[in-house]
Amino acid sequence: MPKERQEYKPFKRDSKGNYIPEKDHNSIKGEWYIRVFVHEDKNGSQQVHRNAKRYLLPKDGKLDEKPIPYKDFLYTKGKKPKLRSETAVAKDILRTIKIFKQNLGLESKIDESNHLQSFVQDPKRISYLWSLYEKYLKETVSIKTFEDFDESTIKNRGHSFRRYKQIYGDHIIDNFPKNMERDFMLKAKKLPHKKDSSKRVSVMTVRSDGITLNQFFEWISKEELVQGRAKKLKLPAKSLKPQTVIPSLDSRIRIESTLTKLIEKWSLKERNKSSNRTSELKRYRTLLRIYLLADYCALRREEIWSLPLEHIDLSNRIIHIKPVDADGGTNKDGNKIRVKFNSKSNRPDFVIMEDYVYKFLSEDLKSRDLKKEVWYLDKGDGSNWFASRDGLTKAMTRLKKDLGVEGKPCHGFRAARNEDLFDENPYHGKEHLRHADIQTTTQHYTSEKKPAGLINSLNKTTKKRHSVSS
């Protein structure tokens, strides 16, 4: 079956007038023009091979005019140009082509119904520009850290764009929805939660999505992939971030006590049994190991999951927090595990061990086969207990649910530890949680309570004031 006759195709040229291949559209700057295919004046060879002569479409179709940029067709004339529809743009191009062919002395026969084309087939939808942006992220480095973007970071940004498409669809580039900048928050907050459709996305998810999308809009504008200024979505205030649910001291004591008793129970039952890398005894020991570092040391879930034994420094009584990219052994199905972790801001850090934690880790390491075991959460053969950090989350979620403890699986313990230190010195919480800013510590990791010693300080300073005045 013969191919449908093509009348024109947009193409890109650099500043010297050279054709830019499609693969280089994103990396080489240039201007878009219209390439016209003339079928009416073929020579013998062209007739055999079904080729057509190619011309650059000149302004108004006049032979003595310069090639007209494609963008000249996109907008209406006047003081406030507006983006025209695809159909209107295509019709205008075809009319200009008809005039051009007549000026060439040819009888032009163009069936507009079959040739209403749009600008560049691939990039005409916003999803195409996002694919270019993802490629850019994979090929560049973070301005803050000067490191490659983590795969999880790029994946999460992709989630933000998918939620954008849920709201506005895969619209044509340059044809952004009306009032999008102002009403994004209102529409985004109505989206269903990914894991529970009965719930809505959180305010911080909306804010995070907006930040990602604004970076995307700024990039496509800078790269001249869209016309006009960069879009900038209005975002929820950072202060709207909800307070972390902090488990009570009683519930924390109950978790530790329960796990300790279960370990004692299964130690007696499995004493005379052959070793099993996923026995009940090892499972409860693993949960206790997670709890101890999540609560007492205020470690994040990914920091616990990716912690190699070699990063536990008993001699200096510190736990090193460093980037990790290593073989994690195998899962229950025999599939390989990759443990990959980048520390906060890609900077190495450490946590000091208090006496209680030092004693626990010292005894714990003595019970291990250090010739075989590699990870803090090891199965006993060099394999990480969890194939991913999500596995750790599920295990702790199940444990807290069974014991009636509310809050996030690990993050709640981190906040609880900060509250322990708050009464002593708020800055100690900042250091132990390794926050760059004390505001983060006080705003999001404490309850509404005031320091226990506040009333004493108030009375002391007031008494001092009146003693001076008298």
- Same domain, yes or no: 116 and 128: no
Residue 254 lies in a domain: yes
Number of compact structural domains in the chain = 3
* Contact between residue 432 and residue 421 where contact means Cβ atoms under 8 Å apart: yes
Residue 286 lies in a domain: yes
pLDDT, averaged across the chain: 82
- Domain boundary residue among 85, 120, 155? 120
The arithmetic mean of pLDDT across residues 258-282, rounded, is 81
Residue 6 to residue 208: CA distance in whole angstroms: 44
Q: Is the pLDDT of residue 201 over 50?
A: yes
Q: Is the pLDDT of residue 163 over 80?
A: yes
Confidence of residue 49 (pLDDT cuts 50, 70, 90): very low
Q: Is the pLDDT of residue 334 over 70?
A: yes
Residue 325 lies in a domain: yes
Put residue 436 in one of left, alpha, beta given phi > 0 → left and psi -120 to 50 → alpha.
Answer: alpha
- Same domain, yes or no: 158 and 115: no
Q: Is the pLDDT of residue 470 over 80?
A: no
Compute the Cα dihedral for 55, 60, 63, 67 and give only its sign: negative
Residue 40 to residue 319: CA distance in whole angstroms: 78
Q: Could you tell me the CATH number of the domain that includes residue 377?
A: 1.10.443.10
Q: Which residues span the domain enclosing 344?
A: 249-444
Residue 67 to residue 69: CA distance in whole angstroms: 7
- Same domain, yes or no: 113 and 221: no
CA dist list (Å): 271 to 145, 258, 263, 266, 280: 49, 20, 12, 8, 12
- Same domain, yes or no: 227 and 338: no
Residue 352 lies in a domain: yes
* Contact between residue 10 and residue 70 where contact means Cβ atoms under 8 Å apart: yes
- Domain boundary residue among 73, 95, 120? 120
Residue 187 to residue 169: CA distance in whole angstroms: 13
- Same domain, yes or no: 31 and 131: no
Residue 342 lies in a domain: yes
Most confident residue range from 268-277, 315-324, 406-415: 315-324
- CA-nearest of 404, 382, 403, 386 to 395 is 386
- Same domain, yes or no: 234 and 344: no
pTM of the model: 0.59
The pLDDT of residue 122: 42
Most confident residue range from 83-87, 192-196, 231-235, 424-428: 231-235
Q: Is the pLDDT of residue 3 over 60?
A: no
Residue 160 lies in a domain: yes
Q: Is the pLDDT of residue 193 over 70?
A: yes
Residue 311 to residue 319: CA distance in whole angstroms: 6
The pLDDT of residue 115: 52
The arithmetic mean of pLDDT across residues 199-226, rounded, is 88
* Contact between residue 189 and residue 210 where contact means Cβ atoms under 8 Å apart: no
Residue 461 lies in a domain: no
Pairing relation of β-strands 53-56 and 31-38?
antiparallel
Question: Tens digit of pLDDT for each residue in 52-77?
Answer: 778 889 898 888 888 999 888 888 87
Residue 178 lies in a domain: yes
- Domain boundary residue among 59, 86, 120? 120
The arithmetic mean of pLDDT across residues 271-295, rounded, is 84
Pairing relation of β-strands 53-56 and 324-330?
unpaired
Confidence of residue 465 (pLDDT cuts 50, 70, 90): low
- Same domain, yes or no: 105 and 149: no
Helix (H), strand (E), coil (C) string for 158-189: HHHHHHHHHHHCCCECCCCCCCHHHHHHHHHC
- Same domain, yes or no: 229 and 349: no
- Same domain, yes or no: 297 and 435: yes
Most confident residue range from 101-105, 201-205, 208-212, 438-442: 208-212
The pLDDT of residue 123: 42
- Same domain, yes or no: 286 and 401: yes
- CA-nearest of 90, 93, 83 to 61 is 93
Distance of CA 285 to the CA centre of its chain: 33
- Same domain, yes or no: 171 and 79: no
Most confident residue range from 75-84, 148-157, 394-403: 394-403
Question: Tens digit of pLDDT for each residue in 21-46?
Answer: 877 777 788 888 898 888 765 555 44
The arithmetic mean of pLDDT across residues 111-116, rounded, is 55
336 forms beta bridges with 330
- Same domain, yes or no: 54 and 173: no
- CA-nearest of 145, 190, 181, 159 to 323 is 145
Residue 396 to residue 171: CA distance in whole angstroms: 42
Residue 11 to residue 31: CA distance in whole angstroms: 8
